[in-house]
Structure formats: structure tokens, C-alpha cells
Structure 1
């Protein structure tokens, strides 16, 4: 570096170190920057620019990305949000770390992996879902820096072509027959009651008709007189009576 040249970094650090060059009338200035970084600082660019009267601003500068190593974050992503019985289903273990995870370990909490479940790296494949597959599945990702674990709760839903239990169908059929039998019994009872009421009405109506028809026949000397009396002609006969003094 040239005489009196200094190097300035974008972030403040400890004081610069100035060294003379024994075989040249120049100086070397060393600026050091100490940072506390986290996983969010990975790939962040750090720039350093040289400021000197012989240079225009920004003429000499460089930048370097920060590489932060950290253990992976782990999430488990299902193929869809509605796993159905009898269908194929896949869940994937996603590890976000630096470096990228190279090892995945699958297991089922409080049990063993189903026989029809196959591990393919970060994927767990179910060839045919069953209600017995329900449970919590764990995936551990390892990237050499550390290990982290994620979990997923599988709850298998009824399939679209699920066949009902024959016992349940028989029970339901028995209940339906009982209900139908009760309804029929009520209808028959109502019909019987209507027939009884109708019969009593007809009997009473017929008695009244006969009594009305016989009215005036007891005092009539013949049939014609009886008809006249029944039609109210009795009073007319009285009007035709002759009185002798």
C-alpha cells in the first residue's frame, strides 16, 4: 500500500495496525473487524474500502460474503392436508442448515414404522394408508454441525369408498323395520276408530229415518191417509172437518 494509506471497513472494529515496510518507504495498514453472527447473517456481504488522497472515493474496495455454519432447522411437509385411508401418501423432511443436511433418520413416536412405509432419504412414503398408521412421526436431520428434529402428526381420514360395517347395517335395518311397524300399527288403529265412528253414525241416522217414515201411520185408516199425514196433511184434514149444530 502507498505511504499514509489506510483501509476503512464499513463497520467499526478495533484500532488499525500500521506497519512499515523495511525495504520501501511505504506502510501497511491492517484493519480488523470482529462480529458476533447468527444463522440469519449467512451470506451477508461485508465490504471494505480504501481511503487515500491519491484515490477517488470508492476506487479501491472489496467485499466478502460471510459463511455462517449452523445446525439445521427441521420441518415436515405433507403431500396434502387430507390423508385418506387406502391412498398413497408422502411426507418430506426439510432441513435448512449450513451446510445442507446429508443424513435423515425417520421414526414413529412410541412405536415402529408401518410395514408399508418406506424411507427414501428425506421422504417417508406410505404405499396405502391405514387407520393403524395414525401417530406422531419424527425426523432427525444431521449436517455435521449438529442435529435437529421435527415432528408431524398423521391422522388418516375415511376413504371415499369406505364400506360400512355389516353389523352396523343390520342394526340400522332392524331399527328401520321397527319404526315402519310402529307407523303401520298406528295407521291401522286410526282406521279402525274411523270405521267404528262411521258405523255408529250410520246406525243412528237409519233409526231416525225409520221413525220419521212411520210418523202419522198409527191413526190412519188406510195407506193414502198415512202418506197425507206423513207429509203434514193431517192439519189440512182437520181444516176440512164439518161441524153440525
Structure 2
């Protein structure tokens, strides 16, 4: 190495060529210390400092190699290695990035983000991002925590170990996005006799969530579609089925499952809204009324939308002056014989109309009591008639059984007499008659 050789220049570190072999250790230490100070105090110029740092490392490694060769160092160099682990984190959670060191001898360890910005240099922060925290730096492992993880943080994180040969491993960070409670949309208003179409939506997940429909604990088959929005996915599941008025207010459930939920489910329930024509039914507060009693006639209404107006009328006459209308109730504070008649309530909505009638008969007190006392006698009379009928049936069965047994006995007796008579006839008339008898039987 001649004196005319150009001297390397690195900031304040100027070394003549002929001093390199003598002051190599001090040179490397000063240069690396300078790079550390530059990295700490120049956060806004991270890329420039990073370039300078790598360049200095390259020079220092070269000089160390030359120095070792110059001294004919024959000692075996212990192999150092670094290993990294892949990490999966839920968006908004905290990720732990680990670099495992093997046979570590104190060499420089650098951790870089996916865009190759240095996060930590030998345990010293090099990038202004407080979400990254160094939590452990030992002879075996270097660990950093990334809080409030975002999709933008996803990628490969470099664990680099600078020795004579640079070693590095990449820890891949994967950020997953769990679904929120799914949204349910209805295409159009459902009407009795028609169909309803429901769509379940999970607008932002990664990886794509799985959506299912359930009704009465039974899965409903639907049509699923997936749309990619950058790094996330939008998932929809649509179902369509016929509806009737009995389906109104039934519950269907959309359920979302996702690896980030760890077996749990996100679900949204939807109450079916089926519109149908109204019905009307008049219910009296009591069935038998007498003069002076109070009576309320209630018009029970169904329908969707529910009818808001109920019209009370009396057939072929106007309502009594004493009658009072309170919503769906027609009240008679004190009945009189003039209140007799046929009353009607009418309801309607945009899908149709309906009505019901009630015949009001007002009795005087005596008639009411007589009518009320006749009811128990009628019941008792019916019970007695039933008992008489049962007794008659039993007697008929007994007589029939007795006659059947008696007829069987007479038939048997007649058969026995016939056999004895034939025997006596054969004995008296001789063999000829007996032969005729046999021929007759044949």
C-alpha cells in the first residue's frame, strides 16, 4: 500500500492508508459510533442515515476481513445465525416480532420494516414510530412489539445480523380484519302472497368472512358473492322466499364466521315485515245482557299496516245517543231495549278492507234470569239422556248375547235327538231301512 493511494473519507473519520492496519479496531469503533449517533439524531433523514450506515458496515466488514488475512488468523470462526418467525395479528391488536440469535457474539443486529427502514439498530430506536417498542434484547432473542397494527404494517420485517457475512431472515407479518355485525338489507316491501329478498352484507373483512342465513335453527341456502376492495373483501349472501301473513314478525338471522373470531359468531337478527289486508272481529264484554247493564263491544283488528280508523255503525239505524266510541271499543253505559240491533265495525288499509257484525239483544231482568236458569236444566237433561241411551245399549247387548247362547243350545239338543231317532228306527225296521237311511245320507 503506497502513500499515493487515495484516503477514504467518512464524515469526521479520516484515516491515512498506512495507518489502517495499526488502528483498524479503533477505526471501526469510531465509524460505527458515528453511524449510531447519526441514526439517533437524524430521524427525519432516516433513508440517508440508513444508506450511510450500510456503507460503513460494508467497509468495516471488508477491513476486518483484510485485517484477519494480514495477520494469518487461522482460528475457526463460530457461525452465527438469525431466525425469524411469521406473525399473524388482528387489526388493532399488538404483534410481537421476534428475531432469534444463535451463537451470538455481540455483532450488530438491525431490524427493518417492509420498506427497509431501520426500526432498531442494536437496541437503539432509529425510526420515529412509537407504536414499535423494543421489549427484549438478549444473547438469544430480540423482540419488538407493534401496537395498533394496521393493514399498512403488513409485510416482511428483516432481522439482519452483520458479521463477516451478513445474515438475515424475514418475519412475515399478516394482519387480519374480523367482521363486524353483518348488515341486513331488504330489496322491496314484502306483501302477502309475494316474495321477499334479503341480503346480508359483511363490508370489510380479511380474509373473506363466511355468511349464513338461519330461520328456526335451520339454514337457508342463499347466493354468495365476494368483491375485493384493496386488501379487504366485501361479502354478500342473498336469500329469496315466499311469504304469507303468518310469516309477519318471524325472525331470520344472518351469521358471520371468521378465523379472527376464534369460534365465535357475529350475527344480526331481522324481523320480517309482511304486509296484508285487515280482519275485524267483534268481542262483547258479556254475552247475555239485560236492561240497565253496561256493555262494551271491542273490535279486534289485525292487518299490516294496522288500520288506524275503525268505523262503528248500526244496521238500518244510527248509533244510540248514549253509545260512546273510544278507539276500537263501542260502549253502552246503561242498556235499554231501544239499543237492540245489529252493530258493525269496519276497518281498512291499502291492501283491503274488512268488517264484522254483532247482534245485540237486550232482555228485561226476568227474561235474563229465566234464560240463565234454563241452561243448567238443559245440561242435566242432556246428561240424563246420555245415561239412558247407554243403559239401553247395554240391555240390547245382553239380550243379544243371551239369545245367541240359547239358540246354540237348542241346535245342539235337536242334533242329538235326531241321532237317537235314527238309531231306534234302524233297530225296528231292520237292515233294509238302515240301508235306505245310509243311501239317504249319501
The answer to which structure, 1 or 2, has the higher relative contact order (CA under 8 A, 6+ apart) is 1
Aligned counterpart, 2:206: 2
The answer to whether 1:113 aligns with 2:319 is yes
Question: Would the aligned equivalents of 1:109 and 1:136 in 2 still touch at CA under 8 Å?
Answer: yes
Counterparts of 1:112-151 in structure 2, within 5 Å, are 112-142=318-348, 146-151=352-357
In structure 2, relative to structure 1, the CA distance for the partners of 1:89 and 1:12 (3 Å cut) is closer
Deviation at 1:131, TM superposition (A): 3.0
In structure 2, relative to structure 1, the CA distance for the partners of 1:90 and 1:59 (3 Å cut) is closer
Aligned counterpart, 2:267: 61
Determine which structure has the larger strand proportion and give its number: 2
Question: Would the aligned equivalents of 1:44 and 1:66 in 2 still touch at CA under 8 Å?
Answer: yes
Q: Choose the corresponding residue for 2:220, options 1, 8, 12.
A: 12
Deviation at 1:137, TM superposition (A): 1.0
**Under a length normalisation based on structure 2, what TM-score does the superposition of the two structures give?**
0.33
Question: Aligned equivalents of 2:345 and 2:232: distance in 1?
Answer: 59
Question: Aligned equivalents of 1:63 and 1:106: distance in 2?
Answer: 39
Question: Would the aligned equivalents of 1:13 and 1:31 in 2 still touch at CA under 8 Å?
Answer: no
Question: Would the aligned equivalents of 1:49 and 1:58 in 2 still touch at CA under 8 Å?
Answer: no
Deviation at 1:14, TM superposition (A): 4.1
Matched residue SS, 2:307: coil
CA offsets per residue over residues 81-132 of structure 1, 9 Å max, x none? 1111233322121213334432110011233323333333222222432334
Question: Would the aligned equivalents of 2:223 and 2:239 in 1 still touch at CA under 8 Å?
Answer: no
Counterparts of 1:65-214 in structure 2, within 5 Å, are 65-142=271-348, 146-160=352-366
CA offsets per residue over residues 113-155 of structure 1, 9 Å max, x none? 2333333322222243233432221101245654321221212
Question: Aligned equivalents of 2:209 and 2:321: distance in 1?
Answer: 71
In structure 2, relative to structure 1, the CA distance for the partners of 1:118 and 1:67 (3 Å cut) is same
In structure 2, relative to structure 1, the CA distance for the partners of 1:140 and 1:128 (3 Å cut) is same
In structure 2, relative to structure 1, the CA distance for the partners of 1:54 and 1:80 (3 Å cut) is same
Question: Would the aligned equivalents of 2:276 and 2:305 in 1 still touch at CA under 8 Å?
Answer: yes
Aligned counterpart, 1:205: none
Question: Aligned equivalents of 1:122 and 1:39: distance in 2?
Answer: 22
Q: Which runs of 5+ in 2 are unaligned?
A: 1-204, 369-442
- RMSD of the TM alignment (CA)? 2.7
CA offsets per residue over residues 170-211 of structure 1, 9 Å max, x none? xxxxxxxxxxxxxxxxxxxxxxxxxxxxxxxxxxxxxxxxxx
In structure 2, relative to structure 1, the CA distance for the partners of 1:25 and 1:76 (3 Å cut) is same
How many aligned residue pairs are there?
160
**Under a length normalisation based on structure 1, what TM-score does the superposition of the two structures give?**
0.56
Matched residue SS, 2:246: helix
Aligned counterpart, 2:126: none
The answer to whether 1:32 aligns with 2:238 is yes
In structure 2, relative to structure 1, the CA distance for the partners of 1:153 and 1:56 (3 Å cut) is farther
